């Protein structure tokens, strides 16, 4: 007989994912042991809820280690809240209001041009760098050869003298 996979309701999924969120911050492995839900299933639920705008930390349970997407989501979710609501949000998610302020300031201070270069740009720069390094190597060899010829010609002149002395 083939076993059917269990079907979990949306309330159950949300309840489980909330255990991964602050202030509980339970690990996926721990929740899997407690509930019997497979680890890959828990990761897919976590990803699903993150894509829906929930602040579910990617890896670390410490807010300062959250990835930039989670930090930005927290800033956006608290932007329209008053001070009391914002404080409540922070308590629920294991944050301090100062952390939100610092994250917001960091995002605002980013230069639009400070985005990482595309892979094509990086590849082009690497190619140019390699080309320039080859050119420097070629010129170094030519310079060394010219210096060797100059030294040899001076030694030859010292031994046999110049043609003008004849």
Q: What pLDDT was estimated at residue 100?
A: 86
Q: pLDDT per residue over 97-136, tens digit each?
A: 888 888 888 888 877 665 556 777 888 889 999 999 999 9
Rounded to two decimals, what is the model's pTM? 0.38
Segment among 24-38, 57-71, 79-93 with least mean pLDDT: 57-71
Structure tokens, 81: 């809240």
Nearest to 93 by CA among 25, 31, 148: 25
Q: Average pLDDT in the 139-144 region?
A: 95
């Amino acid at each position: 007989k083939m076993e059917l996979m269990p079907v979990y309701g949306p309330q159950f999924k949300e309840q489980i994912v909330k255990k991964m969120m602050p202030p509980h911050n339970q690990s996926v492995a721990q929740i899997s042991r407690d509930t019997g839900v497979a680890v890959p299933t828990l990761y897919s639920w976590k990803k699903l809820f993150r894509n829906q705008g929930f602040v579910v930390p990617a890896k670390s349970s410490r807010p300062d280690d959250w990835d930039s997407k989670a930090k930005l989501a927290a800033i956006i979710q608290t932007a329209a809240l008053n001070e009391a609501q914002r404080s409540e949000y922070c308590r629920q998610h294991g944050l301090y209001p100062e952390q939100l302020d610092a994250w917001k300031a960091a995002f605002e201070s980013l230069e639009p041009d400070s985005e990482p270069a595309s892979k094509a740009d990086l590849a082009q720069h690497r190619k140019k760098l390699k080309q320039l390094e080859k050119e420097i190597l070629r010129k170094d060899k030519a310079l060394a050869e010219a210096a060797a010829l100059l030294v040899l010609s001076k030694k030859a002149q010292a031994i046999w003298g110049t043609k003008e002395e004849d």
